[in-house]
A and B are shown apart, each in its own frame.
Chain A
Amino acid sequence: MRRLLLVLALLWAGPALAVEPGEMLDDPALEARAREISKGLRCPVCRNESIDESNAELSRDLRLLLRERLLAGDSDAEAVAFITARYGEFVLLEPDRSGANLILWLAAPTVLLLGLGAGALAVRARSRAAPPEALSEHERARLEEIMKG
């Protein structure tokens, strides 16, 4: 029956609207997992949409594929690995933390530390600086002139 539903879902023509009721799994826990995973997978043919939001045919295929894998007993990580093995890491909306991507992930904490350090140095410099010097001879004379006038 579930298979039949999947096949039926695949046969529907016309633009689908994100997750269709017919695609959803009967087991709410499994369906919740599928939704959560598909929010993190990018539609390969769209502009910056997850397969959960996308109306594209390919996204629907991916949603169905993902649910099939979950039904087959894959863990979340296995299901995602199955899809990235076929569609590349492009589909991961959350870039993995390997290789050069470490630069991306470590950029925020590193720059924050640098920024805080620079800020602290600047504050220290200002707190130790000599107060602005008193009026110069010329300025004092000018001030008196103004006060008189």
Chain B
Amino acid sequence: MITELGHFALVLGFAIAMVQTIVPMVGAHRGWRGWMAVGEPAALSQLILVGFSFAALMHAFIVSDFSLQLVALNSHSAKPMLYKISGTWGNHEGSMLLWLLILALFGAAAAWRGGNLPPALRARVLAVQAAVSVAFYAFILFTSNPFTRLAVPPLDGQDLNPLLQDPGLAFHPPFLYLGYVGLSMSFSFAVAALIGGKVDAAWARWVRPWTLAAWLFLTVGIALGSWWAYYELGWGGFWFWDPVENASFMPWLLAAALLHSAIVVEKREALKSWTILLAILAFGFSLLGTFIVRSGVLTSVHAFASDPTRGVFILAILGVFTGGALVLYALRAGAMEAKGVFSAVSRESALVLNNVLLAVAAFVVFIGTIWPLVAELAFDRTLSVGPPFFDAAFTPFFVGLALVLPVGAMLAWKRGDLARAARPLWPAALLAVALGGLAFALQTGRSALGPVGLALGAWVVAGAALDLWSRTGREGAAQRARRLLRLPRADWGKATAHAGLGVTIFGIAAMLAWQVEDIRVAQVGETYAVGGYDVTLREVAEVQGPNYVSTRAELLLARGGSEAVLYPEKRFYPVAGMPTTEAGIANGVWRDLYVVIGEEQAGGGWAVRTYVKPFANWIWGGAILMALGGAVSLTDRRLRVAAGARKAAAPRPVPAE
């Protein structure tokens, strides 16, 4: 019964979304206030309806209602509760419903927070947002209905893919979707502005927080996915340039570019049409990402629910929205007149360079991702584009970004002076060179990757710190320290996010350059040395888990006085018939110890792989800093004051027209 109500709520939401697409749009065009006002209650009721629908589906998963096809295919009564809940979105249909739920969430948030928007702009934003929703309602109801019942329910389910039964992956999709779908807000604002024909500083001020929120959720989602790959896939890699990873990385890069170009629109009223284009493209790439994952057109580890007919439907959504928006852009972008004037050396120019580098980097990822498809269709060549290509083609862009970032961040608006901006940065340059040289001297005969990564990371982090410090005036240190705490949160957010990028760059370089690997057959009780650690395989035992059997090893890793005991496992999930590896990891600030247990050998003993991964956690630590920087920036006074102004202005009577 609850399930049917959920299904019905979804259909009702579909109808409301259609109304919300048309009525406010017509109202905004004709200037009818009543019609424009329809957007708000419609957006709120959509959220309630889709929310109820999602809750109904989750309820079916929690109570293991196997009369529902989706539950029977993706759940099992013996599964732990956390994975019953996360199983709701650990499959194609459920994840699309989650996508829709988040779309409705953002729409309702825009209705609720948008009190200070001009009514016509708000009506158009809500209408565009609803149009995207309509497409996804149709997609869910017509091609991937999660509420399909089975005539003969099975006694038990077929279990969730064991790889997905993991806390890291349980929360990876919601964050990723919050990011993907958050970009729909930027898209809706861009299209609404194109229709209305007006982009100004106020517009950019409304768009920025949405983009920032989307970007920070994407950051968290990508970091969670990469962290999961690191500990779950069993060889400690953290990024594979897999099509699905790229699918989330492209919107991230474009959102980062959009974030920066919207600053120029807000502060200087320039780069308007480029910003609009970026907003369209960023959401376009989110849709493309959905298409890549859902169609399985580019096969990858993640395509757990691939189906070509669904792919075509999403391709149509992608074509209609991105294509339509781009046509609108071509027709109307000419009307976006830039106002601000700036010289060639200025913060504006630095942000243009930032945008060029980020956008071209996104393009490189894009062409590498689709090239196998193009080569097969156009040149009849079946080939692969893997990590070696991306490493070679992509890395230079981030090296360039990291080099320019600290200087660009300190340049003055409008008319900057390169020498003056660079002067406070010399300690950072000195520190970077010194650390890089030290690392080069300490490591003998290894690649330059480690020292270069360290130098770049130090340059960016120290540059971010000096940027903050330079804003505190010229008085004594105590006075400056006090002022440091009173700096606007946007400044703190900027410095934190930039420092996070530096930390991640360093972490990636350090781990790749200085990792120690050992693969061997170890006898139980045997001790061997890896990277300065004495490793002892103590015992290997069979263990019974809630819905799996496991071969669990116990290893002791000792160095000097400190020691760690690790329990790597090799699990087998009988219902799904799948093995998984669970690495044993001792996390540390300076290094991770990472052990994987392999097969029992014919001549006795076990295959064991042992890694010492220096600075591994800095990769995700940097990502957390980036997201934190975004969050701090979102709480800036500027945005809170705008919210306060909205409350004060709300009761004002609406004049008749």
Kindly identify which residue among A15, A48, A111 contacts B363, using a CB–CB cutoff of 8 Å. A111
Residues of A within 8 A of B240 (CB): 48-49
Kindly identify which residue among A8, A18, A22, A112 contacts B521, using a CB–CB cutoff of 8 Å. A22
Kindly identify which residue among A20, A107, A124 contacts B599, using a CB–CB cutoff of 8 Å. A20
- Contact code string B112-141 (vs A, CB < 8 Å = 1, else 0): 000000000000000000000000000000
Residues of B within 8 A of A24 (CB): 519
Is B367 engaged at the interface, CB distance under 8 Å to the other chain? yes
Is B607 engaged at the interface, CB distance under 8 Å to the other chain? yes
Q: Is the CB of A127 within 8 A of B341?
A: yes
Bound CA span A126–B264, Å: 12
Is B426 engaged at the interface, CB distance under 8 Å to the other chain? no
Residues of A within 8 A of B385 (CB): 93, 95, 104
Kindly identify which residue among B364, B378, B384, B601 contacts A93, using a CB–CB cutoff of 8 Å. B384
Residues of B within 8 A of A100 (CB): 375, 378-379, 381
For window 251-273 of chain B, which residues contact chain A by CB distance below 8 Å?
A: 270-271
Bound CA span A107–B274, Å: 21
Q: Is the CB of B301 within 8 A of A40?
A: no
- Contact code string A93-137 (vs B, CB < 8 Å = 1, else 0): 111000111001101100110011011001110110111100000
- Contact code string B332-346 (vs A, CB < 8 Å = 1, else 0): 000000111111100
Residues of A within 8 A of B384 (CB): 42, 48, 89-93, 95
Residues of B within 8 A of A40 (CB): 386, 388
For window 350-380 of chain B, which residues contact chain A by CB distance below 8 Å?
A: 352-353, 355-356, 359-360, 363-364, 367-368, 371, 375, 378-379
Given contacts A20-B598, A90-B384, contact A115 B359 (CB under 8 A): yes
Kindly identify which residue among B271, B342, B596 contacts A17, using a CB–CB cutoff of 8 Å. B596
Q: Is the CB of B300 within 8 A of A48?
A: yes
Given contacts A53-B237, A101-B375, contact A107 B382 (CB under 8 A): no
Is B579 engaged at the interface, CB distance under 8 Å to the other chain? yes
Bound CA span A53–B364, Å: 25
Q: Is the CB of B301 within 8 A of A48?
A: yes
Is B243 engaged at the interface, CB distance under 8 Å to the other chain? yes
Query: Which residue of B has the minimal Cβ distance to A24?
Result: B519
A121 CB → nearest B CB, Å: 10
- Contact code string A46-90 (vs B, CB < 8 Å = 1, else 0): 011110010000000000000000000000000000000000111
Residues of B within 8 A of A88 (CB): 382
Is A149 engaged at the interface, CB distance under 8 Å to the other chain? no
Q: Is the CB of A119 within 8 A of B355?
A: yes
Q: Is the CB of A107 within 8 A of B344?
A: no
B431 CB → nearest A CB, Å: 29
The B contact surface, by secondary structure, is: mixed
Query: Which residue of A has the minimal Cβ distance to B517?
Result: A35
Bound CA span A22–B240, Å: 26
A142 CB → nearest B CB, Å: 18
A71 CB → nearest B CB, Å: 19
Kindly identify which residue among A53, A91, A111 contacts B360, using a CB–CB cutoff of 8 Å. A111
Query: Which residue of A has the minimal Cβ distance to B342?
Result: A126
Q: Is the CB of A92 within 8 A of B383?
A: yes
Q: Is the CB of A18 within 8 A of B235?
A: yes
Q: Kindly name the residue among A24, A111, A119, A130 whose own CB sees the greatest number of chain B CB atoms within 10 A.
A: A119
- Contact code string B375-417 (vs A, CB < 8 Å = 1, else 0): 1001101111111110011101100000000000000000000
B258 CB → nearest A CB, Å: 15
- Contact code string B290-306 (vs A, CB < 8 Å = 1, else 0): 00000000011101000
Kindly identify which residue among A16, A17, A95, A123 contacts B389, using a CB–CB cutoff of 8 Å. A95
Residues of B within 8 A of A123 (CB): 342, 344, 348-349, 352
Is A6 engaged at the interface, CB distance under 8 Å to the other chain? no
Is B581 engaged at the interface, CB distance under 8 Å to the other chain? yes
- Contact code string B275-301 (vs A, CB < 8 Å = 1, else 0): 000000000000000000000000111
Given contacts A21-B607, A48-B240, A104-B385, contact A112 B375 (CB under 8 A): no
Given contacts A119-B355, A132-B339, contact A47 B383 (CB under 8 A): no
A135 CB → nearest B CB, Å: 13
Given contacts A18-B234, A107-B364, contact A94 B386 (CB under 8 A): yes
B571 CB → nearest A CB, Å: 12
Given contacts A48-B386, A100-B378, A115-B360, contact A20 B607 (CB under 8 A): yes
For window 620-634 of chain B, which residues contact chain A by CB distance below 8 Å?
A: none
Bound CA span A118–B363, Å: 15
Q: Is the CB of B343 within 8 A of A127?
A: yes
Is B602 engaged at the interface, CB distance under 8 Å to the other chain? yes
Q: Is the CB of A14 within 8 A of B389?
A: no
Bound CA span A132–B341, Å: 8
Kindly identify which residue among A53, A93, A95, A126 contacts B235, using a CB–CB cutoff of 8 Å. A53
A106 CB → nearest B CB, Å: 10
Q: Is the CB of B344 within 8 A of A104?
A: no
Is B638 engaged at the interface, CB distance under 8 Å to the other chain? no
Is B520 engaged at the interface, CB distance under 8 Å to the other chain? yes
Given contacts A89-B383, A92-B384, A115-B356, contact A104 B601 (CB under 8 A): no
Q: Is the CB of B234 within 8 A of A17?
A: yes
Q: Kindly name the residue among A107, A123, A126 whose own CB sees the greatest number of chain B CB atoms within 10 A.
A: A126
Bound CA span A91–B42, Å: 52
B387 CB → nearest A CB, Å: 6
Given contacts A48-B243, A89-B381, A124-B344, contact A108 B393 (CB under 8 A): yes
Residues of B within 8 A of A115 (CB): 356, 359-360
Bound CA span A49–B338, Å: 48
Residues of A within 8 A of B371 (CB): 95, 104
Query: Which residue of A has the minimal Cβ distance to B378?
Result: A100
Bound CA span A95–B379, Å: 14
Q: Is the CB of A8 within 8 A of B602?
A: yes
Q: Is the CB of B367 within 8 A of A107?
A: yes
Residues of A within 8 A of B392 (CB): 94
Q: Is the CB of A122 within 8 A of B352?
A: yes
Q: Is the CB of A129 within 8 A of B338?
A: yes
Bound CA span A119–B400, Å: 16
Q: Is the CB of B383 within 8 A of A101?
A: yes
Bound CA span A50–B375, Å: 20
Q: Kindly name the residue among A90, A92, A122, A124 whose own CB sees the greatest number of chain B CB atoms within 10 A.
A: A122
Q: Is the CB of A119 within 8 A of B353?
A: yes
Residues of B within 8 A of A99 (CB): 379, 381
New A-B contacts (10) at CB < 8 Å, excluding given A21-B607, A47-B303: A22-B521, A48-B384, A93-B388, A95-B385, A99-B381, A100-B378, A104-B368, A108-B367, A111-B363, A123-B349
B residues apposed to A, CB below 8 Å = 233-235, 237, 240, 242-243, 270-271, 274, 299-301, 303, 338-344, 348-349, 352-353, 355-356, 359-360, 363-364, 367-368, 371, 375, 378-379, 381-389, 392-394, 396-397, 519-521, 579, 581, 596, 598-599, 601-602, 607, 609
Q: Top 8 closest A-B pairs, CB basis?
A: A93-B386, A94-B388, A17-B598, A115-B356, A100-B379, A21-B521, A108-B393, A119-B356
Q: List 24 A-B contacts (CB under 8 A).
A: A15-B579, A16-B598, A17-B599, A17-B609, A18-B234, A21-B519, A21-B607, A40-B388, A47-B300, A47-B303, A48-B240, A49-B301, A53-B233, A91-B384, A92-B386, A93-B388, A95-B389, A101-B375, A101-B383, A108-B394, A123-B342, A123-B352, A126-B270, A127-B344
